C-alpha cells in the first residue's frame, strides 16, 4: 500500500469538469445570449447598440414571416422524403449484401466515401453534374430516352434533385448500420424458418426486419437529426434558390443573420429553430424509450 | 444444372453489386477524372470521355492562390480542435462511463443535434468583441463543438467495454482515479482513441460553415477556398475540379485508416440516445 491510497473518492467530478465548463461557455452562454438578443433590433453594428423591442421579433416570426413559413415547409419536405427513401433503400440494399462475397472490406470502404467526403467538394461535383447545358445528368437521362431536365435551376425539380444528392450521400450509412445488425443475428431462427418452408420474402419481412428494427430505428433517428442540420450541400449547390424554393430553415436563418445582418430577428428565429429541433429529437428519443420498455 | 443455376445467381449478384457500387463511387471518379480536363473540355456537351490529360488545373490552383498555406490552415485548425477536443472529451467520456454523469452525456448529445447556425450568431458577436475573428484560436474553439461530442460519444462506448476489475484492482493497490485513467484506461483503448481522433479530423477538415464566417484572409481553411473557386463558376471549372480533388484526397486516406470503426463512430449517440 502506497501513500496515495486514500485519495480515490476525491476526484470523479474532476473528470467531467473541463467538458462541463466547455458546455457552459460554448453552448449555454451563447444560447442565453441569443435569447436576450432575440428581444432586440440590431444590425450587428459596433457603434449602434441593440434596441429593445420586447416580443416584436417573435410576433413577426409567427404572424408575418412568409419566408419562415416557406422554409418550414421546405425543411419538412426535404427531410421527410430523403430520410424515408434512405431508410427503405438502405435496408433493402443491406439485405442484398447480407451474404458472403469476395471483397467485402473493399465494398465497405467504398461505401463510406460518400459519407466522409468533403461536402463542399461533393456539392461542387453534383452542381456541375446537374448543369442543364453540359452536365452529365442530362446526358444520362437522354440516354434512357427521357427529356433533359433543368434540375437545380427549376422551382419544381430543385428539391427532388437535392433529395437525390442527399440520398446518394447518406443511404450507404443506413445500409452499413443495417448490415452490421443483420450480420450479428443468430442463425437458429433462420434454420427453423427454412425447415418450416418460409420463402425469402417471408423470412425478410417476418424475421429479419423485426430483429433489426432497433438498429434501423437508430439509423433513421440519426438521419433525421443530421438531415435537419443540412447546410453545406444546399448552400453550395443552390444557396436556397431558385428564389426560395430550396431554402431550408438553416439557410433562411443564415441569410437573415449574415446577409441582411438582422441579428436581433435572426436570434428569435434561431431560438425557434433550437426549440423545434430539440423538441422533435426529444419526442423521438422518448418514443423509442417507451417502445423499448 | 444446379451448378449452372448457382453460377448464374452469383453472376447476377456481382453484377448488381458492381452497379450499386458504381452509383455511389461515380461522383468521386468523375471529380478526379474531370480535374485533368481543361475548362473548355469541361464545358462541352455531351461529356468528353477521351482526352489528353493535363495538369494545368492543378497548376492554376497552386499558382493563383497560396493553396499550400490554406492547406496548412486547415491542418492547424483540425489538429488543434482534435487535440484540445481530446483533452476535454476523454476525461468526460471516462467519467460518464465509470461514474455515470448521464446528464452531461445528454448535454453533449444536444450539441450534436443543434445546427451550427445556432451557435454561429452569438459566437460571431462574442468573437468580434474578443478579437477572435480570423484567428486560429477562434477557429479551434469553434470546431470543438464538433470534436468534443464526437470523441466523447465514441469513447464512452470503448471505456464501458473495458473490464472494470482491472481498474478496481489498480484502485485497491493505491492508484488514484486519474492514475487509473491515464495509465490503464487510455492505453487499453488505443485503437478506439485512434479512430475517434481520425473521425474528428475528417469532420473538422470537412467543415465549411464556421470558417465561412469566422475565418478571414489569414486563416481561411480549404472548404472556404474551394468554395471561392466556385463563385467564379463556369469560368474556372477546371480549377474547381482540381481544388475539390485536392481537398478530398486526405479524406480518402483517412477513411482507409478507420474503415473498421467508421460506422460505429458515427452511430454511437444515435443508438444510445
What phi and psi values does residue A40 have, to the nearest 5 degrees? -125, 170
Question: Residue A241 region, left (φ>0) first, then alpha (ψ -120 to 50), else beta?
Answer: beta
CA atoms of A22 and B126, how far apart (whole Å): 15
Supply the ipTM of this predicted assembly: 0.91
Do A212 and A178 contact (CB within 8 A), yes or no?
Answer: yes
Chain A, nearest residue to B213 by Cα: A258
pLDDT interval class at B271 (50, 70, 90) = very low
Within 8 A of A127 by CB-CB distance, chain B residues are 230
Which has the closest alpha carbon to B128: A171, A216, A42, A233?
Answer: A42
Residues B131-175: pLDDT tens digits? 999 999 999 999 999 999 999 988 988 898 888 888 888 888 888
**What's the CA angle centered on A150, arms A147 and A151, to 5 degrees?**
105
pLDDT at site B267: 66
Extract the C-alpha cell encoding B2.
Answer: 444446379
pLDDT at site B210: 95
Residue with cell 436576450: A36
Residues B65-111: pLDDT tens digits? 899 999 999 999 999 999 999 999 999 999 999 888 888 888 888 88
Do A67 and A253 contact (CB within 8 A), yes or no?
Answer: no
- A219, part of any domain: yes
Chain B, nearest residue to A233 by Cα: B208
Do B189 and B158 contact (CB within 8 A), yes or no?
Answer: yes
pTM: 0.91
What phi and psi values does residue A69 have, to the nearest 5 degrees? -65, -40
Extract the C-alpha cell encoding A241.
Answer: 434558390
Is B261 touching A (CB cutoff 8 A)? no
Extract the C-alpha cell encoding B267.
Answer: 452511430
Tell the CATH topology of B57-267. Answer: MetI-like fold (1.10.3720)
Is A16 touching B (CB cutoff 8 A)? yes
CA atoms of A30 and A113, how far apart (whole Å): 34
Q: Where are the domains of chain B?
A: 57-267
Chain A, nearest residue to B116 by Cα: A229
Q: What is the CATH number of the domain that holds A191?
A: 1.10.3720.10
CA atoms of A270 and B114, how far apart (whole Å): 10
pLDDT at site B273: 36
What is the Cβ-side half-sphere exposure of residue A22, based on CA atoms within 13 angstroms? 29
Do B187 and B106 contact (CB within 8 A), yes or no?
Answer: no
Which has the closest alpha carbon to A161: A237, A250, A86, A87?
Answer: A237
- A5, part of any domain: no
pLDDT at site A129: 94
Q: DSSP letters along chain B, please?
A: -HHHHHHHHHHHHHHHHHHHHHHHHHHHHHHHHHTTS-HHHHT-SSPP-S-----HHHHHHHHHS-HHHHHHHHHHHHHHHHHHHHHHHHHHHHHHHHH--HHHHHHHHHHHHS-HHHHHHHHHHHHHHHT-TT-HHHHHHHHHHHHHHHHHHHHHHHHHHS-HHHHHHHHHTT--HHHHIIIIIHHHTHHHHHHHHHHHHHHHHH--HHHHHH--TTT--HHHHHHHHHHTGGGGHHHHHHHHHHHHHHHHHHHHHHHHHHHHHHHTTTTT-
- The shortest C-alpha distance from B52 to chain A (Å) reads 19
- A54, part of any domain: no
Within 8 A of B108 by CB-CB distance, chain A residues are 19, 23
Residue A113: CB atoms within 10 Å: 20
Mean pLDDT in each 10-residue stretch from start to end of chain A (293 residues)? 46 86 88 89 81 86 89 94 96 89 85 93 94 92 90 94 97 91 88 88 90 88 88 93 92 92 91 86 76 61
- A285, part of any domain: no
* Domain count of the fold of chain A: 1
CA atoms of A178 and A95, how far apart (whole Å): 8
CA B44, B49, B50, B52 torsion-angle sign: positive
Is B121 touching A (CB cutoff 8 A)? yes
Q: Which of residues 210-239 of B touch A (CB under 8 A)?
A: 213, 222-223, 226-227, 230, 237
**Could A107 and B17 be called an inter-chain contact, meaning their C-beta atoms sit closer than 8 Å?**
yes
**Could A118 and B45 be called an inter-chain contact, meaning their C-beta atoms sit closer than 8 Å?**
no
Residue range of the domain that includes A203: 65-261
CA atoms of A101 and A78, how far apart (whole Å): 35
Q: Give the whole-number percent of chain A exceeding pLDDT 90.
A: 42
**Could B181 and A15 be called an inter-chain contact, meaning their C-beta atoms sit closer than 8 Å?**
yes
CA atoms of B93 and B188, how far apart (whole Å): 14
User: To which H or E segment does residue A37 belong?
Assistant: helix A29-37
CA A233, A236, A237, A241 torsion-angle sign: positive
- A292, part of any domain: no
Is A112 touching B (CB cutoff 8 A)? yes
Question: For chain B, what is the mean pLDDT?
Answer: 88
Chain A, nearest residue to B269 by Cα: A222
pLDDT at site B43: 87
pLDDT at site A292: 62
Within 8 A of B92 by CB-CB distance, chain A residues are 15-16, 18-20
Residues B234-245: pLDDT tens digits? 568 899 999 999
Is A158 touching B (CB cutoff 8 A)? no
**Could A12 and B94 be called an inter-chain contact, meaning their C-beta atoms sit closer than 8 Å?**
no
Amino acid at each position: 500500500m502506497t501513500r496515495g491510497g486514500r485519495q480515490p473518492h476525491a476526484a470523479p467530478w474532476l473528470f467531467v469538469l473541463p467538458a462541463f465548463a466547455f458546455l457552459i461557455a460554448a453552448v449555454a452562454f451563447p444560447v442565453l445570449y441569443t435569447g436576450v438578443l432575440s428581444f432586440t433590433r440590431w444590425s450587428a453594428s459596433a457603434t449602434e447598440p441593440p434596441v429593445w423591442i420586447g416580443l416584436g421579433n417573435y410576433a413577426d416570426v409567427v404572424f408575418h414571416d412568409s419566408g419562415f413559413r416557406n422554409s418550414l415547409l421546405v425543411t419538412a419536405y426535404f427531410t421527410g422524403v430523403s430520410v424515408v427513401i434512405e431508410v427503405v433503400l438502405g435496408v433493402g440494399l443491406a439485405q442484398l449484401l447480407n451474404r458472403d462475397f469476395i471483397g467485402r472490406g473493399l465494398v465497405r470502404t467504398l461505401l463510406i466515401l460518400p459519407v466522409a467526403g468533403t461536402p463542399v467538394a461533393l456539392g461542387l461535383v453534383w452542381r456541375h453534374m446537374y448543369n442543364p447545358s453540359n452536365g452529365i445528368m442530362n446526358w444520362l437521362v437522354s440516354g434512357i430516352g427521357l427529356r433533359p431536365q433543368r434540375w437545380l435551376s427549376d422551382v419544381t425539380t430543385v428539391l427532388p434533385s437535392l433529395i437525390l444528392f442527399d440520398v446518394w450521400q447518406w443511404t450507404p450509412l443506413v445500409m452499413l448500420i443495417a448490415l452490421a445488425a443483420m450480420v450479428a443475428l443468430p442463425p437458429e431462427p433462420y434454420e427453423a424458418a427454412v425447415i418450416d418452408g418460409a420463402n425469402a420474402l417471408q423470412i425478410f419481412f417476418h424475421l429479419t426486419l423485426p430483429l433489426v428494427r432497433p438498429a434501423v430505428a437508430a439509423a433513421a433517428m440519426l438521419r433525421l437529426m443530421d438531415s435537419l442540420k443540412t447546410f453545406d450541400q444546399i448552400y453550395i449547390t443552390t444557396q436556397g434558390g431558385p428564389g426560395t424554393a430550396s431554402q431550408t430553415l438553416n439557410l433562411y436563418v443564415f441569410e437573415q443573420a449574415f446577409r441582411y445582418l438582422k441579428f436581433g430577428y435572426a436570434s428569435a428565429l434561431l431560438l425557434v429553430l433550437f426549440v423545434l429541433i430539440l423538441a422533435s429529437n426529444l419526442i423521438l428519443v422518448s418514443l423509442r424509450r417507451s417502445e423499448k420498455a | 444444372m444446379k451448378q449452372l443455376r448457382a453460377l448464374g445467381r452469383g453472376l447476377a449478384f456481382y453484377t448488381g453489386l458492381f452497379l450499386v457500387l458504381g452509383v455511389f463511387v461515380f461522383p468521386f471518379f468523375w471529380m478526379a477524372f474531370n480535374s485533368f480536363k481543361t475548362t473548355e473540355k469541361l464545358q462541352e456537351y455531351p461529356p468528353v470521355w477521351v482526352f489528353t490529360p493535363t495538369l494545368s488545373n492543378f497548376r492554376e490552383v497552386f499558382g493563383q492562390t497560396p493553396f499550400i498555406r490554406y492547406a496548412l490552415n486547415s491542418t492547424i485548425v483540425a489538429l488543434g480542435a482534435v487535440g484540445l477536443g481530446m483533452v476535454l472529451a476523454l476525461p468526460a467520456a471516462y467519467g460518464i462511463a465509470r461514474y455515470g454523469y448521464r446528464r452531461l452525456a445528454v448535454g453533449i448529445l444536444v450539441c450534436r443535434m443543434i445546427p451550427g447556425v445556432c451557435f454561429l450568431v452569438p459566437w460571431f458577436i462574442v468573437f468580434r468583441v474578443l478579437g477572435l475573428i480570423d484567428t486560429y484560436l477562434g477557429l479551434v474553439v469553434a470546431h470543438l463543438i464538433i470534436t468534443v461530442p464526437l470523441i466523447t460519444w465514441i469513447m464512452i462506448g470503448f471505456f464501458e467495454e473495458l473490464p472494470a476489475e482491472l481498474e478496481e484492482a489498480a484502485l485497491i493497490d493505491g492508484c488514484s482515479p486519474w492514475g487509473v485513467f491515464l495509465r490503464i484506461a487510455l492505453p487499453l483503448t488505443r485503437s478506439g482513441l485512434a479512430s475517434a481522433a481520425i473521425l474528428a479530423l475528417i469532420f473538422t477538415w470537412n467543415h465549411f460553415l464556421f470558417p465561412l464566417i469566422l475565418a478571414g484572409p489569414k486563416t481561411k481553411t480549404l472548404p472556404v477556398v474551394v468554395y471561392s473557386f466556385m463563385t467564379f463558376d463556369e469560368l474556372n471549372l477546371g480549377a474547381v475540379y482540381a481544388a475539390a480533388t485536392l481537398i478530398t484526397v486526405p479524406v480518402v486516406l483517412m477513411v482507409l485508416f478507420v474503415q473498421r470503426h467508421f460506422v460505429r463512430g458515427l452511430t454511437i449517440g444515435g443508438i444510445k440516445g
